[in-house]
Chain A
Amino acid sequence: MTKKTVDYIQSIRAGLESLPAGPVNQALEYYEEYIADALEAGLSGDEIVAKLGSSEKIVAAIRAEVLINDTEKKPGPVRLMRASGNAFRQVADSAAKASLIMGAIIPIAVAILFYIVSVATFIGAIALTAILVYGMLQIPVIYMAEKFGTAGFALFISVLLVATGIGWWYLANSITRVTMKALRKLTQQTKELPIKNPALSTPNLVMPLRRFSFKKRLPVLLGIGLLGAVLLFSSGLPLRYFSIWNSMKPANLTRLQKEFEPQTVRNISVTTLNSRIVVQQGNTAGLAVSYEQPDWMSGAIEFKDDTLIFRERSNGRLPFMDFIAIHEGMTTVTIEIPEGYVFNNVSLESTGGHITTAIFAKEVRVHTFNGNIRFNSTNRMYTIKVSAPAEKIYVGGVPLEPGSIIDGRLKNRQAILESDNGTIEIDVK
């Protein structure tokens, strides 16, 4: 070997540094042998290098082929992009480029899309698991079954999503393989030779890390998922959520009841998650509050200064109750008031429950996120400001423009009715 030829081989080797060693060594072996034989035949180093042509050309040819073969063998998004990019760069004339684009651009795009979907699923799995673990930590220790159930759900859903993500990944891999076959045909490359000499198959320089094998860990993964499912279903959580989601009347209701002297109550404030609120005029002389409490709620009836306060809150047994409360519950908080009695301020608020009210007060505020409002304004007594989605407001059965103000007979009595997603009906008879 002369200095010239040694440098030549070195520059080829340097150009292929980032590629798997096996095929690169095969190629280098060929060129080294060629040079040795040429030298033996009496050629000078300069003559040989001139004969072989530029080392860049050799590097490019080997590179294009090795990248495609390597990607077919071990598919992945980075390899896919590298091999495809290289193939497109290799092709110089526009006709070949056009046929390459026609033949390969769709499978490349689909494979990349599937890789993205796969990664998104993994990220989703992590995010959802984090949310569920947070929810689980929020559950009070006395509700152990629910705690374990939520943990089980976190396990189950993460395994499910991870498995789905793996599915997308494998799908993307097989599309990548097919794409590489097409690329090889389109760019007229050769498949990889099996390496006979084991000394040549030194570890791959690009990916020294041991590849994580999902296949081997699949039984463990499925076991975890199954454990999660068992925990989840034995906790009874799904049934509870199912009943709330479908607005079913829950079992195990506790009845809370309290009576007040109407003269002492000037203001009423009721807040519920998804229980209905009914304010109605009864025949009784007293003021009665009654509430059907499911075992995942806590209701509190309080009397402070001259205000009657009712609050329905989650007792923490079911996580994400605020979210699930947009579904109307079949439980009711009922306030019975004596006929003809006038209050100062009445405020009724519910996330998912319907609100029905027939009350006399100076000011009534009713707000619900997802429920409907039925408001009684006998003889057009109130001045009412309504806000609800278009064409969902009815006054005496007649549709009304949203944001309207209905002038009432009594100017000092006003009501503000807001339903973010429900309908508002106002009775005026």
Chain B
Amino acid sequence: MDPQIKKGILDTIVLAILRKADTYGYELSEQMAGLMDVSETALYPVLRRLEVQGFLETYSVEHSGRLRKYYHITALGLQQLNENAKELLELQRIISWVIEGVKNHDEKNG
């Protein structure tokens, strides 16, 4: 996938996962892995970027004698997620149209 598109989608997926429930790094990355092929090295900068932009915030919870950092989506993050979702819908419309065209073309020739 094109790195630019992938980067945009990564942000959206992280926000979407966090919208359901607050979660911590490893869990988040496991959920991501179920959706798309993403290296662990890519996820940390995404989380940091979203935090710097104010789309998510963190808090620590004690867990078996150590601190675990949880990520929580902010109101601003929810707003951003909605906007991203709208764009994705738009993109989906275009993609459907393109795929439809390719299919028809293939059927005619095939």
CB distance A61 to B45 under 8 Å? yes
In-complex Cβ contact of B41 among A38, A41, A58 (8 A): A58
CB distance A30 to B44 under 8 Å? yes
Q: Known interface pairs A53-B39, A193-B51. Does A33 touch B45 (Cβ–Cβ under 8 Å)?
A: no
CB distance B39 to A191 under 8 Å? no
Least distance between A345 CB and chain B CB atoms (Å):
88
A211 contacts across to B, CB distance below 8 A: none
A37 at the interface (CB under 8 A from B): yes
B41 contacts across to A, CB distance below 8 A: 52-53, 57-58, 61
CB distance A53 to B40 under 8 Å? yes
In-complex Cβ contact of A52 among B40, B67, B68 (8 A): B40
Q: Known interface pairs A29-B69, A37-B25, A190-B52. Does A51 touch B44 (Cβ–Cβ under 8 Å)?
A: no
CB distance B69 to A38 under 8 Å? no
CB distance A34 to B45 under 8 Å? no
A410 at the interface (CB under 8 A from B): no
Residue of B nearest to A191 (CB): B52
* CA of A38 to CA of B40, assembled, Å: 12
CB distance B40 to A190 under 8 Å? no
B29 at the interface (CB under 8 A from A): yes
Among B27, B29, B44, B52, find the residue whose CB has the most chain A CB atoms closer than 10 A: B44
Residue of B nearest to A29 (CB): B69
B69 contacts across to A, CB distance below 8 A: 29-30, 33
Least distance between A29 CB and chain B CB atoms (Å):
7
In-complex Cβ contact of A34 among B40, B66, B67 (8 A): B40
CB distance A36 to B48 under 8 Å? no
Least distance between A324 CB and chain B CB atoms (Å):
61
Render B49-70 as a binary contact track against A, CB cut-off 8 A, 1 for contact: 1011000000000001011110
A188 at the interface (CB under 8 A from B): yes
Q: Known interface pairs A61-B45, A190-B49. Does A33 touch B40 (Cβ–Cβ under 8 Å)?
A: no
A58 contacts across to B, CB distance below 8 A: 41
A218 at the interface (CB under 8 A from B): no
Least distance between B53 CB and chain A CB atoms (Å):
9
* B64-101, CB < 8 A from A: 64, 66-69
CB distance A51 to B40 under 8 Å? yes
Least distance between A116 CB and chain B CB atoms (Å):
34
B30 contacts across to A, CB distance below 8 A: 41
CB distance B7 to A41 under 8 Å? no
A30 contacts across to B, CB distance below 8 A: 25, 44, 47, 69
CB distance B52 to A37 under 8 Å? no
* CA of A52 to CA of B67, assembled, Å: 21
Residue of B nearest to A26 (CB): B48
A305 at the interface (CB under 8 A from B): no
A300 at the interface (CB under 8 A from B): no
* A41-99, CB < 8 A from B: 41, 51-53, 57-58, 61, 65
A41 contacts across to B, CB distance below 8 A: 26, 30
A123 at the interface (CB under 8 A from B): no
Residue of A nearest to B39 (CB): A53
Per CB-CB distance, the 9 closest pairs between chain A and chain B, nearest first, are A37-B26, A190-B49, A52-B40, A190-B48, A191-B52, A34-B25, A34-B26, A38-B26, A30-B44
Interface residues of A (CB under 8 A from B): 27, 29-31, 33-34, 36-38, 40-41, 51-53, 57-58, 61, 65, 188-193
User: What are 25 A-to-B residue pairs whose CB atoms are below 8 Å?
Assistant: A27-B44, A30-B44, A30-B69, A33-B25, A33-B67, A34-B29, A37-B26, A37-B27, A37-B68, A40-B64, A41-B26, A41-B30, A51-B40, A52-B41, A53-B39, A53-B41, A57-B41, A61-B41, A189-B45, A190-B48, A190-B52, A191-B52, A192-B52, A193-B48, A193-B52
